[in-house]
């Protein structure tokens, strides 16, 4: 029996959700991004008006404003977007338990076994589209196919609020004439290599000798050949405790060079508090802590990560792990300009945990409650109303408002699936 895979993509997700909560911005070009005064602010999402003006995701805020002077920037609200993501997954769960998130706003659904009770693939897609619009207030584009890659292509093919079916009888007509860069995992560097060898469309990629592609791109060349021919057999993962995003991180370019351990501790503590807050608001914990630093002359960078024994969203535990990574690799080398702390390996905060007799659980609960209490006080009286003692040792470093910039990274395509079928092209 041929599989039935849906790829559901919330249209302009962040911007659409923000417009629901800021109706006064409707009719004006709007984008979700960082602080416009920040040196590193970028566009994370944009509405249709901003898109028509040429604004693109990943564009610097100043560049977006140059293209669209009347644009309004809104700071990102990860916990709000995660809440909508969970509500969408609750709807998907009524059709299948095989649902795999590809970021906050995208998901694959395997509805092969659902047709008997829920109707045809098109019926299911239309029902999901209608319910998301009615219950969440946003629109989705849905691709329907027999494999994940073509379903993903279908959801991208027509936007917004559309359903596209990619079948064995029409994929050569719809997909093959498209630019090769429109295929999942053909990035700019890969596209450039393919262009240099006259491979301009997905159809030309599909008809190229896989042995040649292996020589040009390595194993990924064979995988892309399979993708272009609709031979992807990667399964849709079952719903689990894994979060729809891979990591949440915060970084800051310090107001002055960091020249001592105390300087680093202050910044790491600030970043860890922000990461902790975002995870707690989204009911997540992390199993990996990452630390990143950039030297003041911008010639040397350092990044390390460490898997921890117990999932956590406690700020002091995140800070301790980040500082251990700092001491292990950077300690005493040179002044630091930029520091980043990231939590990855995210899991649901309610997931089962293996208890450890060597861990002081009473102390952990107190640290967790301290974070909760501080966040509650700050939400009522402002960020500076309660602070840890070390922050008072250098008000130049700790005097800025709560860290706002953050990074969200989706899971990679191959993390949970497999590459069944690649072996037949081994050369």
- Which residues are catalytic, by number? 106
Residue with tokens 């007799």: 357
Reading the block at residue 41, the tokens are 């602010």
Reading the block at residue 292, the tokens are 């990143």
Q: Secondary structure of the chain in the HEC alphabet?
A: CCCCEEEEEECCHHHHHHHHHCHHHCCCCEEEECCCCCCCCEEEEECHHHHHCCCCCCCEHHHHHHHCCCCEEECCCHHHHHHHHHHHHHHHCCCCCCEEECCCCEEEEECHHHHHHHCCHHHHHHHHHHHHHHHHCCCEEEEEECCHHHHHHHHHHCCCCCEEECCCCCHHHHCCCCEHHHCCCCCHHHHHHHHHCCCCEHHHHHCCCHHHHHHHHCHHHHHHHHHHCCCCCCCCCCCCCECCEEEEEEEEEEEEEECCHHHHHHHHHHHHHHHHHHHHHCCEEEEEEEEEEEECCCCCEEEEEEEEEEEECCHHHHHHHHHHHHHHHCCCCCCEEEEEEEEECCEECCCCCCCCCCCCHHHHHHHHHHHHHHHHHHHHHCHHHCCCHHHHHCHHHHCCCCCCCCEEEECCCCCCCCCCCHHHHCC
Look at residues 225, 236, 228 and name the one whose alpha carbon lies nearest to residue 4: 236
Reading the block at residue 417, the tokens are 């699936």
Read off φ and ψ for residue 397, nearest 5 degrees.
-80, -40
């Amino acid at each position: 029996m041929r599989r039935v895979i849906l790829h559901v993509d919330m249209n302009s997700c962040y911007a659409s959700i923000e417009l629901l909560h800021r109706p006064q911005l409707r009719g004006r070009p709007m984008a979700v991004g960082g602080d416009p005064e920040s040196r590193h602010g970028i566009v994370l999402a944009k509405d249709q008006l901003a898109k028509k003006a040429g604004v693109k995701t990943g564009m610097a805020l100043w560049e977006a404003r140059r293209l669209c002077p009347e644009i309004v920037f809104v700071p990102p609200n990860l916990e709000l977007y995660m809440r909508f993501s969970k509500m969408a997954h609750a709807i998907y769960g009524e059709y299948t338990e095989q649902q795999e998130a590809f970021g906050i706003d995208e998901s694959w659904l395997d509805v092969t076994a659902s047709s008997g009770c829920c109707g045809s693939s098109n019926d299911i897609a239309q029902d999901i589209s209608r319910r998301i619009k009615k219950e969440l207030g946003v629109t989705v584009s849905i691709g329907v196919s027999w494999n994940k890659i073509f379903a993903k292509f279908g959801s991208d093919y027509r936007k917004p609020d559309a359903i596209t079916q990619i079948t064995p009888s029409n994929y050569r007509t719809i997909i093959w004439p498209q630019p090769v860069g429109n295929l999942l995992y053909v990035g700019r560097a890969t596209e450039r290599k393919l262009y240099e060898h006259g491979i301009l469309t997905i159809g030309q990629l599909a008809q190229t000798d896989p042995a040649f592609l292996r020589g040009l791109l390595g194993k990924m060349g064979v995988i892309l050949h399979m993708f272009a021919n609709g031979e992807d057999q990667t399964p849709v993962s079952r719903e689990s405790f894994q979060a729809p995003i891979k990591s949440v991180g915060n970084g800051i370019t310090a107001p002055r060079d960091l020249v001592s351990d105390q300087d680093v501790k202050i910044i790491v503590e600030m970043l860890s508090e922000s990461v902790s807050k975002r995870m707690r608001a989204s009911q997540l914990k992390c199993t990996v802590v990452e630390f990143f630093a950039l030297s003041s002359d911008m010639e040397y960078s350092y990044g390390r990560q460490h898997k921890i024994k117990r999932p956590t969203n406690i700020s002091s535990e995140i800070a301790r792990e980040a500082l251990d990574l700092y001491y292990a690799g950077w300690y005493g080398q040179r002044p630091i300009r930029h520091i980043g702390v990231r939590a990855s390996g995210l899991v649901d905060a309610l997931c089962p945990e293996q208890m450890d007799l060597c861990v002081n659980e009473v102390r952990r609960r107190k640290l967790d409650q301290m974070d909760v209490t501080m966040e509650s006080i700050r939400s009522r009286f402002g960020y500076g109303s309660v602070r840890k003692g070390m922050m008072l040792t250098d008000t130049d470093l700790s005097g800025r408002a709560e860290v706002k910039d953050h990074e969200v990274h989706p899971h990679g395509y191959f993390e949970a699936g497999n590459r069944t079928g690649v072996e037949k092209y081994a050369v």
